[in-house]
Amino acid sequence: MIWAMVRLALHAIRRNVLRSSLTVLGIVIGVAAVIAMVTIGAGATAKVSADLANLGMNILMVRPGQGQMGPGGARSTAAPFDLEDARALLREVPGLSAVAPTSSQPAQAISGASNWSTTVTGSTVSFLSVRKWTLETGRAFTDSEERAGKAVCIIGATVRRELFGSLDPVGERMRVGKVTCGVIGVFASKGQSTFGSDQDDFVLVPLRWFQRRVAGTTDVGAIFASTRDDVSTAKVQADMERLLRERRPGSDDEDDFSIRDMKEIATAVTGTTRVMTGLLGAVAAVSLLVGGIGIMNIMLVSVTERTREIGIRLAIGALEREVLAQFLIEAVVLSSVGGVVGIAVGLALAVAGVRTMGVPFVFQPGIVVLAFVFSAAVGVIFGYFPARQAARLDPIEALRHE
């Protein structure tokens, strides 16, 4: 019985293929948009999570002052840290596994006839473990080289490409600003960060050499601290705040330093991307409602065109529920066909989108099934009124219809 009605519905749809195709276009666009938006959003969320994981999820970032640098913002006037602050944190705060005091400033890197505007960062050997950096070639500088302030450096993949091309830079010498250092290693590439900056565009040097030869001061711009896996970062952060308040008394109402937990940043960023993905999916779902209105409109036209056919069926004994089911099935078939085509188009758009944006493709079968079910539900909801109107036609009046 049901299969016979489905065949009748397909026959009715084939009678006017162009009109039927235009009718389901709204459903196709709606389903495709929902699947593409949500899939690309899931890929973006996965990329954000992976980038933040590369930075390390058990990192606490300590900076002087409460203000943040930004467009139109002013630089903090709080006193910078020094090496003893970093040593005190590692010595007196339980739960810390490593501390890396750092200072950075822009500089021109020069090798032979090549030059590149980059950032030079001075830090200790702990920088690599705290920031989760690995080496592609060469080695890291040693504790003795760091204490002596030896002129050695490790370069990022971008600096290597711009200054040395395909050559191995290990053992070569290069200028950083006005001073020269020997390249002893190259970092493995991390690529673009979630926030759009090139993570590979920097030169790492021993902090003491940076302070003496590049910056000319003993200031430390920031301290990166990593916690042990078995301790709470919130507890460690509270201990760090207490110690720094003793060492750096600020005003009565606020500290002159700020501590940021990488886990909190990761949660906030991934939460934002998920909300944006949901909003984009909801906006795209509006197209499904538009497609449903199109189905209702074409089904009303179909009822008018087939009034005599309906009258004949009712006159020879067809029940109202059978006429209702026939037109309802036609609406569901239309929306279901649109849903299947929309799934194919949406997945194709999602693949193209993730490749363009450079994010992973995260297939979500749940959203595919949900989009298809929703498209079929649109057929039921918007097809019911025309189907009921057809089922309630008076057979005599229907047979008189011209």
Residue 71 has a pLDDT of 38
Please say whether the beta carbons of 264 and 353 come within 8 A.
Answer: no
Q: Where does residue 7 rank: exposed (0-12), middle (13-18), buried (19+ CB within 10 A)?
A: exposed
* Parts of the chain with a pLDDT under 70: 1-13, 52-57, 66-77, 193-196, 249-254, 265, 304-308, 310, 314, 394-402
C-alpha–C-alpha distance, residues 80 and 65, integer Å: 9
Q: How far is CA 289 from CA 22, 92, 178, 345, 375, in A?
A: 15, 62, 65, 18, 9
Task: Report pLDDT digits (tens) over 232-280.
Answer: 888 888 899 889 888 876 655 567 788 888 777 677 777 777 787 777 7
C-alpha–C-alpha distance, residues 395 and 317, integer Å: 10
C-alpha–C-alpha distance, residues 156 and 200, integer Å: 5
Tokens of 104: 């950075």
Please say whether the beta carbons of 214 and 221 come within 8 A.
Answer: no
- Quickly count: other Cβ atoms within 10 Å of residue 164's Cβ: 19
C-alpha–C-alpha distance, residues 316 and 220, integer Å: 93
Query: Which pTM does this prediction carry?
Result: 0.63
The b/e string for 179-203 (b: 16+ C-beta within 10 A; e otherwise) is eebebbbbbeebeeebeeebbbbbb
Residue 74 has a pLDDT of 41
Residue 75 has a pLDDT of 47
Residue 76 has a pLDDT of 53
Residues contacting residue 176 through CB under 8 Å, at least 6 positions apart: 107, 108, 109, 120, 153, 203, 205, 214
Backbone angles phi, psi at 198, to 5 degrees: -85, 110
C-alpha–C-alpha distance, residues 120 and 201, integer Å: 9
Q: Where does residue 241 rank: exposed (0-12), middle (13-18), buried (19+ CB within 10 A)?
A: middle
Name the DSSP class of 93: S
